[in-house]
Amino acid sequence: MYCLFARNDKGGCFGRHALISLWALLLCSGIGALAQSAAPPLNANAPFSIRATHVLGLPKTKNNCNGMLSIQNNELRFQKCGNPDAQVNIISVRALFLGEGRKQVGGLPMKLGKAATPYGGGRVVSLFAHKKYDTLTLDYVDSDGGVHGAIFEVTKGQGELVKNELVARGVSSSPGEDQPTKQSISEVAHEDK
Amino acid sequence: MKTSRRNSWTFCVAACVTIAVALSVRLAGQTAAVKPSDGSSGSGTQWSLQVERIDPGNLDLAHSFQVAIYENLLEELNKTKRFKYVLREADSRASEIPDLLILKTTVVKYTPGNETQRAVTTVSGATKLTVRSQLVTRDGRIVLESTVSGNVYFFGGNLRATHNLARNIAKAIRQSNMAMVRASYRDTQPPTLNARGTQ
């Protein structure tokens, strides 16, 4: 209201208002463009690769080893540096579950350091030395029809990307409709208890 | 004097030889008694095992835990070398194997833990799993039943409980008397055995 009245008095107010409107419009369109470019590509043929930890389940692969989890040519591959990669045909994947977890970081050196810290200082360090991660659980079958399971840990937030990639290639996210949501929620609840 | 010394020497040597022979016979007897309890000997047949996926029962057990128990079980049971083949669920080769047992595992108790809580407090945050495992024949007769637990109290992630659980189940099966399992399979009214193989 003030501006409307002032416009008659001062000609510069309209120009200022227009500038602010233009700036707001540019900001909104910029954010929109950024959001579009940040959206994960769901091209079914494009290769996809992230860092992951193989917890267990893949044949001829050590448990709890770090490597690259990639999806290419309808195959899910896990490659540890220098080792031949383990691969699972995406067609053989029967179900996919996404969960969350939290773990202490630093491994054995950190544990020893915490134990050696005097006056219970190690416990205080433990309070902050943890990180969240996503777990990706796959059910797949081998050539004889035997049921296998594999578990991967990925950085928090990246589990959803892998899930989207696999779903885009035809993997069902779970046997039931409500199962994945229920499973992931229950896992979070369990971890937080 | 000389004669009495020679006699005593002869007596000592004879006693030693008698003791040695008696001990060797007894050891041989023990070995023979132990051998049939091994799953690979006895009637000449060796069981194969098919591991079914974990039944969470009424509990809200995360799928990653179910998969981890299943995979760890397969690994630990392979290590026991008690079974000719250890097969996965739905393996098509199972229909061709004559002496097949099926391992069914149902979760009866689950206490979710927290690694951070364990690291901070030491006394709380333990992950506890208790399952009922049954060895069942093809026609549904239970030949071995045991309740086994696997826990993580201090070190390690929550999934370590599944590894401990699988190791304990494999230990229970290894300690069971497979000869009795075989005998109970032949009987018309088989007894249910506990993990020690006693009725």
Instruction: Say if residue B56 is in the same domain as residue B29.
Output: no
Question: Are residues A23 and A99 located together in one domain of the fold?
Answer: no
Q: Are residues B4 and B78 part of one domain?
A: no
> Is A43 within the bounds of a domain?
no
Dihedrals phi, psi of B100, to nearest 5 degrees: -120, 130
The answer to whether residue A43 scores a pLDDT higher than 70 is no
Quote the pLDDT of residue A189.
40
Together in a domain, B48 and B19: no
Residue B193 lies in a domain: no
Domain that holds residue B62: 43-186
Does residue B137 form part of some domain? yes
Say yes or no: B58 and B90 in one domain. Answer: yes
**B5: amino acid identity, one letter:** R
CATH of the domain at B99: 3.40.50.10610
Question: Which residue is closest to A188 within chain B, CA to CA?
Answer: B62
Q: Which residue of A has its CA nearest to B119?
A: A126
Q: Are residues A67 and A148 in the same domain?
A: yes
- How far is the CA of B110 from the CAs of A75, A164, A182, B113, in angstroms? 35, 31, 17, 9
Same domain for A27 and A106?
Answer: no
Q: Is residue B192 part of a domain?
A: no
Residue A75 β-bridge partners: A72, A89
What pLDDT does B176 receive?
A: 85
Beta carbons of A157 and A134 less than 8 angstroms apart: yes
Q: Are residue A101 and residue A75 in the same domain, yes or no? A: yes
Q: Residue A59 belongs to a domain with what CATH number?
A: 2.30.29.30
The pairing of strands A86-89 and A75-79 is antiparallel
Confidence of residue A22 (pLDDT cuts 50, 70, 90): low
For the segment A148-171, the average pLDDT, to the nearest whole number, is 93
B59 and chain A: CB distance < 8 Å anywhere?
no
Instruction: Return the DSSP state at B55.
Output: B
pLDDT of residue A84: 79
Q: Which residue of A has its CA nearest to B117?
A: A127
Residue B44: is its pLDDT beyond 60?
no
Residues B12 and B62 in one domain: no
SS3 at position A149 = strand
Put the strands of the sheet holding B86-87 in their side by side order. B86-87, B48-51, B100-111, B127-136, B142-152
Find the CB nearest A190 among B62, B70, B121: B62
Residue A111 located in a structural domain: yes
Among candidates B109, B117, B138, which has minimal Cα distance to B48?
A: B138
Q: What is the reported pLDDT for B87?
A: 96
B145 assigned to some structural domain: yes
Indicate whether B196 belongs to any domain.
no
Contact A151 B90 (CB under 8 A): no
Say whether both B29 and B100 belong to one domain. Answer: no
Q: Is residue A75 located within the same domain as residue A149?
A: yes
Residues A17 and A64 occupy one common structural domain: no
Lowest mean pLDDT among A19-33, A76-90, A114-128, A170-184: A170-184
Cβ contact, residue pair A151, B87, below 8 Å: no
In terms of domains, do B72 and B136 share one? yes
Task: Name the DSSP class of A90.
Answer: G
Together in a domain, B28 and B92: no
Domain of residue A26, residue span: 2-38
The backbone torsions φ and ψ at residue A65, rounded to the nearest 5 degrees and listed phi first, read: -115, 145
Chain CA centroid to CA B30, Å: 22
Could you report the per-residue pLDDT of B148-184, keeping only the tens digit for each? 999 999 888 999 999 999 999 999 999 886 655 665 5
Q: How many domains does chain A have?
A: 2
Joined together, the tokens standing for residue A87 give 């691969």
**Above 0.90 for ipTM, yes or no?**
no
Distance from CA of residue B4 to its chain's centroid? 59
Model pLDDT for residues B7-42, shown as the tens digit of each residue: 767 765 666 566 665 555 444 433 333 333 344 444
Angle (CA) A75-B62-A71 rounded to 5° is: 15
Domain match, A119 and A27 both: no
For A35-192, strand residue ranges (E) read 48-56, 65-72, 75-79, 86-89, 93-104, 130-141, 147-155
Helix (H), strand (E) at residue B44: none
B72 and B21 in a common domain: no
Residue B199 lies in a domain: no
Tell me, yes or no, whether B16 and B53 share the same domain.
Answer: no
- Contact: B88, A97; criterion CB under 8 Å: no
Assigned domain for A165 exists: yes
Q: How many domains is chain B built from?
A: 2
